[in-house]
Amino acid sequence: MEKGYVHVYTGNGKGKTTAAFGIALRAAMAGKKVYVGQFVKDMKYSETGISDILSNIVIEQLGEGCFIKKDPEASDRKAAREALEKCDAILQSGDYDMVILDEITIALYYQLISCDDVIEVLKHKAEFVEVILTGRYAPDQLLEAADLVTEMVEKKHYYSQGVLSRKGIDC
């Protein structure tokens, strides 16, 4: 089996989760098993239905929901810690060829979990597992630990013109 690498998709631009799901789809079509753990998220976005179509992609929403307009609560911290523990076990198990930790950097940014703990989890993954971490505000320490880093930079966005999220395009 080939060595699995650690990717980070970060930045203020659109496309981090979209890029991760693109690679997940590519992996699934090559017969690989993919696990997606969505930190923070609890709403059913369009991508969460992919498991209904492709049985080799498992998606779990591990968060308590969005807290952009409020401070995180103790339940958010508890959910993030439990999510990291679950993903740690999955990464070590070798049951999946690819593991995506979607929006994990948001959990880091809001100090729901520590960067040291995330890096420790990455150190103990099964050797062949490809890992993708997404979200804004990825800390330098995580970027240094990764094998591949892509920063999405917003140059122009229709949100600034008042266009809300569109189903199937943005959510």
Domain count, the chain: 1
CATH number at residue 93: 3.40.50.300
Q: What is the pLDDT along the chain (171 residues), one digit of tens a residue?
A: 899 999 999 999 999 999 999 999 999 999 999 999 999 876 677 777 788 889 999 999 998 776 566 788 898 999 999 999 999 999 999 999 999 999 999 999 999 999 999 999 999 999 999 999 999 999 999 999 999 999 999 989 887 888 888 887 777
Note whether residue 171 is domain-resident: no
Is 170 within a domain?
no
Please indicate, yes or no, if residue 87 is contained in any of the structural domains. Answer: yes
CA distance 25 to 29: 6
Buried b (16+ CB within 10 A) or exposed e, 125-164: bbeebbbbbbbeebbeebeebbeebeebeeeeeeeeeeee
Distance of CA 13 to the CA centre of its chain: 15
Rounded CA-CA distance 26/131 in Å is: 14
d(CA 171, CA 161): 18
CA distances from 159 to 20, 58, 103, 132 (A): 22, 30, 20, 26
CA distance 149 to 140: 11
Q: Which domain holds residue 68?
A: 6-161
| pTM of the predicted structure, to 2 decimals | 0.92
CA distance linking residue 41 with residue 129, whole number of Å: 23
